[in-house]
Amino acid sequence: MSTVQSGERHVGVVGLAVMGENLALNIERNGFAPAVYNRTAARTEEFLAKRAMGTDILGTFTIEEFVGALERPRRILLMVKAGPPVDAVIAELAPYLEPGDILIDGGNSLFTDTERRSHEVADKGFHFIGMGVSGGEEGALWGPSLMPGGPNEAWVELEPMLTAIAAKSASGPCVTHIGPGGSGHYVKMIHNGIEYGDMQLIAETYDVMRRSLGMTAAEIGEVFDRWNEGKLESFLVEITGKVLKYVDPLTEEPLVNVIADQAAQKGTGRWTSQNSYELGTPIPVIDAAVIARSLSSFKSRRLEASKVIKGPGSEGMPFPPTPDKQQLIDALENALYVAKITSYAQGMALLATASETYNWDLDLSEIARIWTGGCIIRAELLNPIMQAFKTNPQLANLMLAPYFVEQVNSGSPQLREVIHTAIGFGIPSSAMNAAISYIDTYRQPLLPANLIQGLRDYFGAHTYERTDREGIFHTEWMQVGV
């Protein structure tokens, strides 16, 4: 039953798929009366007849009716598919809006699209907020992590409602004003890139236990459950335990054993890698995760190759002896933790570069804080990350904060041990390898780039600098020398 009159609805939600429905219910439960609209009326009708039944949610069936139901300035949350649908909905709404009204895009939009839309919408006198929303279906209903970016005056209008609906962690509500323009969607993109890295590292860890120790899915699930009590405590480690222990009612096998081993990469993961190349700030663990997903999708080619390319376990190439189980499991726990640290270090470094490049003045400590609850990458690890950037907002790399120096130093020998085992058994471990190479590259005073510069000068007269004197040099390599 509606208690708030049409024309006085606090907020409007456009798009009633998974996210829109759950956010509308969350908003209503927290005392803000929403009006909702969906392009296909049947979806609105179903929502009103089922999940929204008995709530103070007002269903509307034309854009005009929807806009007319809202108090001013109008606050309209778009939860439609990212890409052209967002532009289409803005174009439909625009004729009915007035200066000062606020459009919030809560989808996974590309941050450069958000920058463009911010300008287009501002030219019409409206405000545009690009808001990253993380937490999936459950988060949207019970408290997501929210990453809104856009003009401050619009944030001030939205803050009470966004604070009410956001997840609450020990550090407070998981929402903050990220910065101007596309910064909110950018931070969500990095969040998702880190999520890619986390999942790939978890998958490699599972693969090492499965293949080198011959453990069952349920046994591995128990290990993840135990790890979730310690420093690896996180939503993804928690659900890994649950997924691995889930028994398929059809086959009575662990369900994970009958799930096809092909994962797609799209949208935010790929965008994170692309942007890191543009900004020259490498994120090799996240890149490895994106690449691993692409390679996994080549199933038929992998099957063909498995018949002709040999490796450990092939005829004449026996597996190494089975490792000591407890020792390897302990090593895996520390390896996963250290590898995760490098991945977060890479994501945070990219955020720092983006902040400078796009003039966003991002607060990395605050960003880590709003990821401590509600979102997919919520983890105990985010607390020391939050502290590290609070203590030193200019920290050049997360690995250099005292706590993380200690963790990397104590855990990296076990990361090496795990990679050694993986390679010995022929188990792909590209994200783990990317993590240790990142550490080894970052800590290395001397890299082989001297030879690269020599080669470039040889074939292209690209010149080089010397370590023993100032200046730019070129050598006629074919005239002198051996």
Of 329, 371, 340, nearest in space to 231 by CA: 340
Among 10, 28, 32, 38, binds ligand NBP (CB under 6 A): 38
Beta carbons within 8 Å of 215's beta carbon, 6+ residues apart = 209, 223
Catalytic residue among 21, 195, 204, 417: 195
Smallest gap from residue 36 Cβ to ligand NBP (A): 10
Of 113, 112, 114, nearest in space to 131 by CA: 114
Looking at 34-42, 236-244, 309-317, 420-428, which segment touches ligand NBP (CB under 6 A)?
34-42
Taking the least distance from each CB to ligand NBP, the nearer of 19 and 401 is 19
Count of C-beta atoms within a 10 Å radius of residue 327? 11
Could you say whether residue 51 binds ligand NBP (CB under 6 A)? no
Smallest gap from residue 192 Cβ to ligand NBP (A): 9
As a whole number of angstroms, the distance between CA 326 and CA 213 comes to 10
Residue type, 276: S
Distances (CA, A) of 444 to 183, 331, 345, 441, 449: 33, 24, 17, 5, 12
Handedness of CA 356, 361, 366, 370 (dihedral sign): negative
List, in sequence order, the alpha helices (H) in 181-324.
183-212, 217-227, 235-245, 268-279, 284-296, 299-308
Could you say whether residue 193 binds ligand NBP (CB under 6 A)? no
Of 348, 374, 383, nearest in space to 276 by CA: 348
- Residue position matching structure tokens 């190349």: 277
Taking the least distance from each CB to ligand NBP, the nearer of 136 and 172 is 136
Could you say whether residue 130 binds ligand NBP (CB under 6 A)? no
x-marked contacts with ligand NBP along 226-255 as a string, rule CB under 6 A: ------------------------------
Smallest gap from residue 189 Cβ to ligand NBP (A): 11
Taking the least distance from each CB to ligand NBP, the nearer of 88 and 396 is 88
Looking at 83-91, 237-245, 276-284, 291-299, which segment touches ligand NBP (CB under 6 A)?
83-91
Of 21, 93, 30, 29, nearest in space to 59 by CA: 21
Q: Which residue of this chain has its Cβ atom nearest to ligand NBP in the complex?
A: 107
Looking at 32-40, 257-265, 306-314, 350-358, which segment touches ligand NBP (CB under 6 A)?
32-40
Looking at 37-45, 305-313, 431-439, 446-454, which segment touches ligand NBP (CB under 6 A)?
37-45
Could you say whether residue 103 binds ligand NBP (CB under 6 A)? no
Report how many residues bind ligand NBP under the rule CB under 6 A: 23
Taking the least distance from each CB to ligand NBP, the nearer of 70 and 341 is 70
Token readout for 424 is 């010995």
Token readout for 248 is 């398929």
Count of C-beta atoms within a 10 Å radius of residue 288? 26
As a whole number of angstroms, the distance between CA 421 and CA 433 comes to 12
Could you say whether residue 374 binds ligand NBP (CB under 6 A)? no
169: DSSP letter: E
Taking the least distance from each CB to ligand NBP, the nearer of 11 and 16 is 16
Residues facing residue 14 across a β-bridge: 37, 78
Could you say whether residue 20 binds ligand NBP (CB under 6 A)? yes
Taking the least distance from each CB to ligand NBP, the nearer of 16 and 332 is 16
Could you say whether residue 18 binds ligand NBP (CB under 6 A)? yes
How many helical (H) and strand (E) elements, i.e. helices and strands, does the chain have? 19, 9
Taking the least distance from each CB to ligand NBP, the nearer of 145 and 334 is 145
Per the annotation, the verdict on 233 as an active-site residue is no
Could you say whether residue 184 binds ligand NBP (CB under 6 A)? no
Smallest gap from residue 146 Cβ to ligand NBP (A): 11
Token readout for 378 is 């919520």
As a whole number of angstroms, the distance between CA 175 and CA 231 comes to 24
Of 139, 148, 143, nearest in space to 111 by CA: 148
Could you say whether residue 455 binds ligand NBP (CB under 6 A)? no
Could you say whether residue 136 binds ligand NBP (CB under 6 A)? yes
Residues facing residue 169 across a β-bridge: 172
Smallest gap from residue 136 Cβ to ligand NBP (A): 4
Q: At what angle do helices 402-425 and 183-212 cross, to 10 degrees?
A: 50
As a whole number of angstroms, the distance between CA 303 and CA 295 comes to 12
Could you say whether residue 461 binds ligand NBP (CB under 6 A)? no
Among 80, 165, 290, 370, binds ligand NBP (CB under 6 A): 80
Per the annotation, the verdict on 65 as an active-site residue is no
Among 82, 239, 279, 423, binds ligand NBP (CB under 6 A): 82
Taking the least distance from each CB to ligand NBP, the nearer of 108 and 407 is 108
List residues near ligand NBP by CB under 6 A. 15-20, 38-40, 43, 79-82, 85, 88-89, 107-108, 133-134, 136-137
Question: Catalytic residue numbers?
Answer: 188, 195
